[in-house]
Amino acid sequence: MLKSVRHISGQYSINSVEYFSILGKDLTEKLLKTKVVKNYDKGEVISPGDKTSNYILLIHTGLIKILTYLMDGREFVIDTPTPGSVVGEIDVLRSTRPSFEVHALTSCEVWSLDAKIVRDAIASDPEVSVNLLFYVVQRIKELEDRLVCLTSVSIPSRLANALLRLSSIEGQAGRAISKINISQHELASMLPASREKVNRCLREWERSRIVDLSPGTITITNPRALHEYAIC
């Protein structure tokens, strides 16, 4: 068991995961000892939005999407965290239902960590409470910045940002890849925009040889040109 914990700590150290750096080494290892490994297929619901959460999620492999629904019923993707990211760490600090749902964007492995470990630490250690408060404020500011970006720039800019981000996320060792496995419907929910407008933009870029389209796949053929559309 100790060997397993050391391996985990080395892979997800306090230096590589911001949330763990807030908790510190001892609390991080205690939290990781509670892990329950779960595998999900693309499209499966990882965390619903209809009940309070008792778990913090660590994305081990694959991609997930954090989403909510607009007034007209359309899906709106707030974020697509990278492997190694922690999700739901803010929701477990309150007794209300989560603000967002979590779905599998690809096949993925997710570790569920017992949030009681963190709640107990907050109750007994004022320093942990203060550090987590600053962390939450920072995370909210990042979300605000992302939403402002999504609502203040053109659809081509939003689309370019999304494709470049997905390319970076799916790459190995931080290297971007050119082929992204995603539908136009899923892309539209990330902007947000209608599928028709996304398709129109992608077709124009295909004619300009910036991307190449096939069912369920978008290949970036001219990254430099795509970067010229991206703003934030």
> Where residue 173 falls among pLDDT bands split at 50, 70, 90?
very low
Q: What pLDDT was estimated at residue 103?
A: 94
3-state secondary structure the chain: CHHHHHHHHHHCCCCCCHHHHHHCHHHHHHHHCCCEEEEECCCCEEECCCCCCCEEEEEEECCEEEEEECCCCCEEEEECCCCCCEECCCHHHCCCCCCCEEEECCCEEEEEEECHHHHHHHHHCHHHHHHHHHHHHHHHHHHHHHHHHHHHCCHHHHHHHHHHHHHHHHCCCCCCCCEEECCHHHHHHHCCCCHHHHHHHHHHHHHCCCEEEECCEEEECCHHHHHHHCCC
Q: What pLDDT was estimated at residue 176?
A: 53
> Where residue 142 falls among pLDDT bands split at 50, 70, 90?
confident
172 or 188, higher pLDDT = 188
Give the model confidence (pLDDT) of 210-226 as tens digits.
999 998 899 999 999 99
Give the model confidence (pLDDT) of 155-166 as tens digits.
899 899 889 888
Q: What pLDDT was estimated at residue 4?
A: 36
Q: What percent of the chain has pLDDT over 70?
A: 88
Q: What percent of the chain has pLDDT over 90?
A: 39
Contact 59/110 with Cβ under 8 angstroms? yes
pLDDT at 111 over 80: yes
150 or 31, higher pLDDT = 31
Mean pLDDT value of segment 29-45: 93
Neighbours of 216 (CB within 10 A): 11
The b/e string for 29-39 (b: 16+ C-beta within 10 A; e otherwise) is: bbbbbebeeee
Contact 28/9 with Cβ under 8 angstroms? yes
Q: What pLDDT was estimated at residue 174?
A: 46
Give the model confidence (pLDDT) of 43-65 as tens digits.
899 998 777 778 999 999 888 99
Mean pLDDT value of segment 167-179: 62
Give the model confidence (pLDDT) of 9-23 as tens digits.
446 656 678 899 889
Q: What pLDDT was estimated at residue 15?
A: 62
pLDDT at 5 over 50: no
Question: Within 13 A of 18's CA, how many CA atoms are on the CB side?
Answer: 11
The reported pTM is 0.74
Residue type, 202: L
Peptide bond preceding 215 in cis form (omega within 30 of 0): no
Which tokens belong to 40?
A: 């999900």
Q: Lowest mean pLDDT: which of 89-93, 129-133, 169-173?
A: 169-173
Q: What pLDDT was estimated at residue 220?
A: 93
User: Mean pLDDT over all residues of the chain?
Assistant: 84
